[in-house]
């Protein structure tokens, strides 16, 4: 009998090696390789498999059916998902432990149960624990059925028997298939479970929604094939300052990518926050180094405060501490200002952050970053209720941005009175006072007045 061969498999990717390594060469993860065995197979053991020829079709001959999306009535959820859940879709919701994934899925299931048949499989909690949460959230409905089953074979058989519109599995890491001997949560189990659940969704037009864990780096746990296999990936993230939760779409075959929704956690569950800009503007400070910008996330505009602090460095190497933005973007803007305005930012420690704990990126923030750095350097605040929107080129020119009409429409609602933007920016009719700039040299005039 052939002796089993030993190997080491990375739990974050598909890298396999015959010896143990501290760091995976493929994904650069530390201590992610675990030992496994595979039986050696002799050439005589291979069997010849004959497959039938599948008839091919032209797209003109394919019959299509328009499916109505499943709207649950939670506007923030419906908007992030692209206008409701698509029948037959396969999606996953992930986030930090205790962030509210189970709470959100239970609330979505309850609202959808008023119209659709919903099955909820809780592989992590007992039915008693689920009932206690449902009573606290007032999410008990006769069409919403529960089970604590974690065996994938029985889970699929139960689903095919009840024929629901929506199946929720909390979570995929605790499900296990009898066909795979690996432990629940391992790469083999996740791949097998995801593939079978995907076929369940597509072949029976049943929407399957999973919850998933994340790694210590904040990414979805499991192999990348899991992320590629699902139709949509949503991240539920928390903010440092409030009990606010941000639902972010990072992949969506049926909607806009990078769409965000805001919720607030309280004793009765996650509540929608439709006026997030009002929350953000209440804490804006009129002080040196503070600049207001407008940022487009998906189809939603959010107003954020950029805060800069520059101080003469007391060490040989000036510090660059940036939070909420890409550090390279702030360093680049500082280099442009020093090159053309002769402002010695290279000898300054620069501390930069986005208020509210948000993480954003985009060239439309360039002008706001430049004004925040100069405001802190000269210790002069910008005018109250002003906002900056513009892109900076390496030659010191201020360039127009896209979707300026959407930005202006949003900022007009909150009493913004002044806009700094590019001179050649095509602007709609507005009551906001415009301060048109063509290059960075004109920025000095704002602080020399």
Q: Assign residue 264 the CATH number of its domain.
A: 3.40.50.300
What mean pLDDT, rounded, does the chain reach? 86
Mean pLDDT throughout 172-182? 78
In terms of domains, do 195 and 230 share one? yes
Residue 60 included in any domain: no
- pLDDT value for 1: 45
Place of tokens 């328009």: 66
Strand, helix or coil at 312? strand
**What is the pLDDT confidence band of residue 42, given thresholds at 50, 70 and 90?**
very low
**What is the pLDDT confidence band of residue 427, given thresholds at 50, 70 and 90?**
confident
- pLDDT value for 267: 84
Structural domain tally of the chain?
3
Residue 62 included in any domain: no
- pLDDT value for 4: 56
**What is the pLDDT confidence band of residue 293, given thresholds at 50, 70 and 90?**
very high
* Burial (CB count within 10 angstroms: exposed 0-12, middle 13-18, buried 19+), residue 50: exposed
Helix/strand/coil percentages in the chain, nearest 5: 30, 30, 40
Q: Mind listing the pLDDT tens digit for each residue in 86-111? A: 999 999 999 888 889 999 999 999 99
In terms of domains, do 28 and 174 share one? no
Mean pLDDT throughout 186-190? 78
In terms of domains, do 214 and 328 share one? no
Q: Mind listing the pLDDT tens digit for each residue in 324-363? A: 899 999 999 999 999 999 999 999 999 999 987 788 888 8
Strand ranges for 194-253 from DSSP E: 207-212, 232-238, 244-252
**Domain of 21, in residue numbers:** 5-43
- pLDDT value for 37: 59
What is the pTM (predicted TM-score) of this model? Answer: 0.76
In terms of domains, do 136 and 217 share one? yes
């Amino acid at each position: 009998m052939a002796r089993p061969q030993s190997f080491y498999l990375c739990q974050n990717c598909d890298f396999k090696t015959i010896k143990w390594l501290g760091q995976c060469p493929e994904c650069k993860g530390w201590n992610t390789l675990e030992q496994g065995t595979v039986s050696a197979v002799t050439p005589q053991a291979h069997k010849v498999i004959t497959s039938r020829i599948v008839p091919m079709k032209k797209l003109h001959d394919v019959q299509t059916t328009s499916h109505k999306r499943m709207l649950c009535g939670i506007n923030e959820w419906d908007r992030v998902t692209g206008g409701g859940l698509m029948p037959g879709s396969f999606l996953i919701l992930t986030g930090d432990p205790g962030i509210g994934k189970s709470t959100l899925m239970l609330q979505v299931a309850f609202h959808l149960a008023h119209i659709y048949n919903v099955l909820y499989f809780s592989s992590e909690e007992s039915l008693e624990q689920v009932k206690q949460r449902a009573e606290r959230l007032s999410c008990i409905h006769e069409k919403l059925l529960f089970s604590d089953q974690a065996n994938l074979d029985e889970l699929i058989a139960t689903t095919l028997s009840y024929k629901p519109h929506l199946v929720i599995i909390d979570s995929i890491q605790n499900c296990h298939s009898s066909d795979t001997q690996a432990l629940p949560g391992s790469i083999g189990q996740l791949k097998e479970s995801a593939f079978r659940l995907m076929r369940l969704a597509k072949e029976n037009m049943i929407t399957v929604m999973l919850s998933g864990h994340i790694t210590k780096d904040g990414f979805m746990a499991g192999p990348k094939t899991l992320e590629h296999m699902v139709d949509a990936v949503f991240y539920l993230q928390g903010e440092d300052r409030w009990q606010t939760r941000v639902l972010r779409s990072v992949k969506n075959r049926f909607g806009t990518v990078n769409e965000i929704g805001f919720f607030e956690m309280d004793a009765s569950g996650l509540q929608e926050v439709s006026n997030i800009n009002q929350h953000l503007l209440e804490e804006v400070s009129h002080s040196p180094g503070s600049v207001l910008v407008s940022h487009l996330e998906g189809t939603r505009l959010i107003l954020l405060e950029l805060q800069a602090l520059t101080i003469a460095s007391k060490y040989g190497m000036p510090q660059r501490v940036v939070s909420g933005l890409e550090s390279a973007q702030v360093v680049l803007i500082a280099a442009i200002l020093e090159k053309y305005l002769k402002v010695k930012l290279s000898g300054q420690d620069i501390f930069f952050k986005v208020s509210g704990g948000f993480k954003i990126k985009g060239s439309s923030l360039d002008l706001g970053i430049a004004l925040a750095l100069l405001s802190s350097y000269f210790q002069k605040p910008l005018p109250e209720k002003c906002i900056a929107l513009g892109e900076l080129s390496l030659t010191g020119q201020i360039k127009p941005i896209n979707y300026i009409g959407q930005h202006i429409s949003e900022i007009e609602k909150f009493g913004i009175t002044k806009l700094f933007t590019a001179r050649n920016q095509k602007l709609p009719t507005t009551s906001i006072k415009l301060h048109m700039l063509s290059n960075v040299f004109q920025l000095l005039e704002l602080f020399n007045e």
